Structure 1
């Protein structure tokens, strides 16, 4: 038989006098997981495993606070762990399609990025000053004069031999030419054709002998020109090295103990010595020489290869990172490579590499909602390969 109940018996009421506060705003929110002792023990046990290949799956009814509880638990644990390294990408001067990854202590990544930016600006000023100096002008002029003197000696020697055989050497569109001389007067083509067959035969025979010497002299001219270029290149490299050597040494001294940085700076120095011209162009001349529709980032593209791309920056972390992958798409998890449009084509380089959740959680903890992960097939397959 049923029992009749009053409304007061169907409603549970709490006596406010039993609570030691006037409102819930005076209470400190609970940060621990309530009523899940076995789950907490399992979580601690799993997190204490240091070997690779172990991950934790948390199950439960939706809306029970699984994600919040796990994140709060990890936030506490992360504060007891060391801050992981920063990761940077730099240009690979040997193969630009495979950039170099550099690991640095927390906070050093941004410092390295700023230091390289300042170094390039200092290198611009120092190189322009060095190549506009009087000393450089004198050394370059001396090298050019020495080459001109050698060329003059070769031409004079060849002229003397040609005059003995009745010829004079003249420059033309195709190079040096042998012109026959009779009675001190160079002959034109028409005058040569009007000569007797015997005279023309003698001229042709002598010309053939001189042309062999002329070809030999032309090879010597090429050697002299090559030596001139080598001498000027040597002067240029010495001046450029003088301009940036101290800057490179100063920057390298800040990163003693980081062999990857030392190797990168060595490559940077070598590349600047090979391409110093892109640093010394006058800004006004550079602006005039560029096309009117070029964007600023296109004008600075030549120097972009010296930049540092900080993919993971842990400078603001106080412990191990705890990353919540709220939308675990493939690019969000594994990063992406951005592209820029130039003249109708998409181009990219190492400065456009962007890190994903896995990069940011490296050395820490990554929380992924499994339902969202399984909805992204490529993300799930990629995550299995990555882990």
Structure 2
């Protein structure tokens, strides 16, 4: 039964939710504010611009805020604008190192020159593939080659002829066999057979053997001259080839010196290319199709694509293609693995061997973003092995060094490359939630040194004509960008109401753009299904309800358990020491309110309030703090002239999980006061709110879900008109209740009472006066506070009597200490 004399009046329906009328007049706002995600984030926007423009390498950005507030999109939009203000970055290429092949050379080129150099080198190879064979097929070269071969061939023949003449002089013969030369005696112009030689007189055999030995010495001298002659022959051919190739190579490469010779490192590189082309000119004589098992296609019409010419190829690292923007790049990497950040070296298999070259160096996000901006999701970076460490290493060294995870773990036995590091010139922007930012700041000493700019995105913005207009523009942008039906004025008003609920503040609007985008898309589907020309407020409400319905299985099971009396909750009657407390359960991104039965029992004791949840380690520190505060309130508010002689226990009945937060401390205090005064609490009420030591009721979170949770339980049992929720008065500004609750309040089937003090709650819950102390310091007889104090004095008297009769009693011993 509602007390008629209470000073606390229930809230009116109009106070339970903010109301909006869409603004039709134009409010002056800059372009950035009207952008999709920048509303209400002016300070964050300024921070992003500052980080983008300052040149110091360590003023990188961390954009933090709740998921869905548009952090990533805002950062990308601003950086794209800032990129247009900056000059186009240099090109970077890798070329072959002819001195140390496993260390490719990185060369910086003016913007736009990389593709020109690559095409020039391709044309060089193709031109030489046509010109050099023509030079070697010319009559002059062929005549010189034949003369040289005849000359060196004659030298070898003369040496052998000399040995043959010496053999003839001694009656011997020099025979050529597949195994080499043989010196043998002759008889009748025929070689002597072994058995004939054995039959000769010993003196004659000794003479023949002496002659053979003498000729053999001449043969050895001649044979020693042959390799030297062949080496001289090869050198002469190589010199001739170089002289012939020199003219063709110099003519072809001189144009490259004119175009690129002014660029640092290019003269040395082109000189090395020239030397290698001259030394290996013969490779162009056998140019043709070749089988290659690697990643590159084989084309018989393009000689530069043949594997033997890969040493002359130019691997463009930045920009990665010819269509790159003329502004500074703005890059994002959705999979920031180590290789995707710093690049990697690919390999191919050929005849069982694992090979690679400088053309198989693949750029990473750091290469693509060099000279511009790189935006990364910090959570993704931290979950990839070695990625965060590599990112910090590159920022500190201001170089991009390609290293693989296998190299970091020393697991790779494959010969790989060590490409030159490329100087780093990137402004990094990390996007993440506040928890990750503060964890990194606390546990990574390098983090704040490298990311000095913090762009903290607000969760909400105060409601005003300007912000409402901006919010309306954001909603319209969502429909335009997603090609949806237009929103009606009532639909916009409905979304504004939902924005206050998400903000948990009737005076603010939530900036969770992702939620509104999802809701409008679902409402658009409903509107199309109903063949509506606009998205109405009914479509918005249905979309919100359906989204909640898909996620509310835990809520349905909880309320079902209450309806079936599995979870015991009273919504009528009066019970001493029992009250309905309200809490919020969150499962995934869905949260709902749930009433819980809270009970208290008291007796004489040593002045201790037992928090059963804490004793069994189910209560969190905040809940324990609330219990200690209410204990302090009891000790300093009642029976001030005697020791606290109370033993009390408090428990959430049928609670099988953790309990934390102090939002139930007011309900716990009311239950204790009921148990001490032996005055029953009206079970038609549920209570939420925290208390301080002076008995003031303080605000709590989740007020809307808590009220709706108790309302739904009462509604399932039929509303009696006496049920309601007692809440902190300071939470009125947070109310954004669903229409079903507002309608019930409007017809006085449900009531919501705001209170500021414990006494106001006592008056409502126990339908009795709490009582104030008079001039003599005594509570008015018959009031709740007077009954509590009398009970505590009685407990003190009992302890005193026990002390006289049983000094061995534990309670008495403890009271002596008190």
Higher relative contact order (CA 8 A, sep 6+): 1
* 2:72 aligns with one of 62, 67, 70: 67
Residues 315-326 of structure 1 aligned to structure 2 (within 5 Å): 316-326=324-334
Is 1:265 the counterpart of 2:265? The answer is: no
In the alignment, which of 250, 253, 256 is matched to residue 255 of structure 2?
A: 250
Aligned partners of 2:52 and 2:79 also within 8 Å: no
Whole-Å separation in 1 of the counterparts to 2:70 and 2:117: 41
Which 10-residue stretch deviates more, 69-78 or 116-125?
A: 69-78
Secondary structure at the residue paired with 1:254?
helix
The match for 2:683 is: none
Find out whether 1:302 has 2:324 as its counterpart.
no
> Aligned in 2, Cα 1:166/1:268: closer, same or farther, shift over 3 Å?
same
Deviation at 1:200, TM superposition (A): 0.7
Q: Which has the higher helix share?
A: 1
Shift of 1:3: 6.5
Task: Check if 1:380 corresponds to 2:388.
Answer: yes
Aligned to 2:102: 97
> 2:360 matched to which residue of 1?
352
1:335 aligns with 2:343: yes
The 1-side partners of 2:26 and 2:21 are apart by 13
Q: Which moved more, 1:171-180 or 1:362-371?
A: 171-180
State the structure with more CA Rg. 2
Q: 1:363 — aligned with what?
A: 371
Equivalent pair of 1:32/1:72 in contact (CA under 8 Å): no
Q: Is the 8 A contact 1:31 1:72 kept in 2?
A: no
Question: Alpha-carbon deviations, 1:98-133, whole Å to 9, x = none?
Answer: 211111111111111111111111111112212222
Q: 2:85 aligns with which of 72, 80, 99?
A: 80
Residues 1-387 of structure 1 mapped to structure 2, 5 A cutoff:
1-2=9-10, 4=12, 11-14=19-22, 16=24, 18-19=25-26, 30=35, 33-182=38-187, 184-281=189-286, 283=288, 297=298, 300-313=306-319, 316-343=324-351, 346-387=354-395
Decide whether aligned partners of structure 1 residues 31 and 266 sit closer, same or farther in structure 2, where only a CA change above 3 A counts. farther
Q: Matches of 1:40 and 1:29 in 2, distance apart?
A: 13
Structure 1 length-normalised TM: 0.85
| Residue 327 to residue 140, structure 1, CA distance change in 2 (3 Å) | same
- Aligned counterpart, 2:611: none
Asked if the contact 2:160–2:219 (Cα under 8 Å) also holds between the matched residues in 1, the reply is: no
Deviation at 1:177, TM superposition (A): 2.6
Distance 1:185 1:378, change over 3 A: closer
Q: 1:176 to 1:86 in 2, by over 3 A?
A: same
Alpha-carbon separation, structure 1, partners of 2:287 and 2:63:
63
Is there any run of 5+ residues in structure 2 with no aligned partner, and where?
1-8, 28-32, 300-304, 396-818
Structure 2: distance between partners of 1:52 and 1:4: 58
Instruction: Map Cα deviations across residues 240-260 of structure 1 (whole Å, 9 max, x no partner).
Output: 223322112222221021242
Cα shift at 1:85: 1.0
Give deviations 1:162-187, integer Å, cap 9, x for gaps: 32222232222233332323465543
Matched residues, number:
373
Cα drift, residue 354 of structure 1: 1.2
Q: CA deviation at 1:69?
A: 1.9
Q: Is the Cα–Cα contact under 8 Å of residues 314 and 359 in structure 2 kept in the other structure? A: yes
**Partner of 1:163: helix, strand, or coil?**
helix
2:37–2:73 Cα contact (<8 Å) kept: no
Structure 1 distance, partners of 2:18, 2:38, is: 30
5+ residue gaps, structure 1: 21-27
Partner SS, residue 130 of structure 2: helix
Contact 1:110 1:313 in 2 (8 A): no
Measured in 2, the distance between the counterparts of 1:344 and 1:216 equals 44
Q: In 2, distance between residues paired with 1:362 and 1:174?
A: 66
- Taking the aligned partners of 2:234 and 2:151, their CA distance within structure 1 comes to 12
User: Contact 2:48/2:78 (CA < 8 Å) preserved in 1?
Assistant: no
**Offset, 1:71:** 1.9
Distance 1:59 1:43 in 2: 11
Query: Which SS does the other structure have where 1:57 is aligned?
Result: strand
Q: Is the 8 A contact 1:237 1:273 kept in 2?
A: yes
Residue 236 of structure 1: CA displacement?
1.8
Q: 1:50 to 1:136 in 2, by over 3 A?
A: same
Q: Residues 260, 121 of structure 1: CA spacing in aligned structure 2 closer, same or farther, 3 A cutoff?
A: same
CA 1:69/1:92 → structure 2, altered by over 3 Å: closer, same or farther? same
Query: 1:350 Cα deviation (Å)?
Result: 1.7
State how far apart, in whole Å, the 2-side matches of 1:378 and 1:34 are. Answer: 36
Give yes or no for contact 1:331–1:356 (8 Å, CA) kept in 2: yes
CA distance 1:236–1:6, shift in 2 (3 Å) = same
| 8 Å Cα contact 2:91-2:319 kept in structure 1 | yes
State the secondary structure of the residue aligned to 1:217.
Answer: helix
Q: Any conservation in 1 of the 2:52–2:82 contact (CA below 8 Å)?
A: no
Instruction: Note if contact 1:32-1:73 (Cα within 8 Å) is conserved in structure 2.
Output: no
